[in-house]
Structure 1
Amino acid sequence: MPITSKYTDQQVEQILTEIAAVLDKHGAGAELSLMIAGNIATNVLNNDVAPSQRAAIAEKFSKALISSVEA
């Protein structure tokens, strides 16, 4: 069963395009881009997710990431 998102593909693509443009503007290569993405994920978890749910959400996020690169 496919996962249904409450966000449109257009919303996601627009934000992704803008973030990619900022990384490109600063000449961020793969390593720095991944460091930044990891820092963003950590900040979101620490600031927007209840402490009791952080580990579970981080685990789901990491599994989704692994799944997306293996596909």
Structure 2
Amino acid sequence: MLRSGKEALNWSITLLLCGLVLGLIPFLGWLLAGLLYCIHVICCIFGAINARKGWLYRFPFALRLIA
């Protein structure tokens, strides 16, 4: 369970950084940030389902900042 928490935290930090960068770019960046949010919700649902089963879910493009 601890590894799932670290993976989720790494994912959230990655999306926070991407969202901040995309938020600075008018129009196209805002659209991409909205798409990124939708991807975030879907991946979090998959992660929650796998954590419930006791499996580790590796998020697709998370920076591994916390080991």
Whichever structure has more helix as a proportion of its residues is 1
Structure showing greater Rg: 1
Q: What is the TM-score normalised by the length of structure 1?
A: 0.37
Of structures 1 and 2, the one scoring higher in RCO (CA 8 A, sep 6+) is: 2
Q: What is the TM-score normalised by the length of structure 2?
A: 0.39
